[in-house]
A = this chain, B = another copy of it.
């Protein structure tokens, strides 16, 4: 089972994209600022997301990324699959040969678990997440903070906008 920072970042970034998709293309720099993910790392992740046709890029100034399909048509499983090798829980990666070339005692158990996890994440779409209250409240906090930071960079005292 491979669910690492990479997969989590990818989902976070895609969700950020979904949340801001009505404002035109979203640049990786924006996502980087809002979500605290390194820009270079995001570039790596989006290369794969683009390869898997989950996003499309718009180059040049004012460019960024857009979702390729509607938020209701992109599942979390797709996103994780795109960046992680797979979210297979077996040791043999499905080949059934991890103990002296033969199937090990627990192979079928891990297969079942993998199927379970995949099903769960396939049933959740970006649209589902966007609709959740807990996520909207996190979003609100983050947007506020980013605005604050931008103002701050323009040498306007934080107190003025609070």
Contacts and interface: CB of A to CB of B under 8 A. Distances in A.
B105 A135 contact: yes
B15 A106 contact: yes
Given A8-B91, A8-B106, A36 B116 contact: no
Count class of interface residues, chain A: 35 or more
Contact of A104 (B12, B99, B104, B106): B12
Q: Count this chain's copies in the assembly.
A: 2
Contacts of A109: 11, 76, 124, 129
Contacts of A139: 105
A8 B110 contact: yes
A153 interface: no
Interface in A1-52: 1, 3, 5, 8, 11-12, 15-16, 35-36
A5 B91 contact: yes
17 contacts: A1-B1, A11-B109, A12-B105, A12-B106, A15-B105, A16-B105, A35-B99, A35-B104, A102-B138, A102-B141, A105-B139, A105-B142, A108-B132, A109-B129, A113-B117, A113-B120, A113-B121
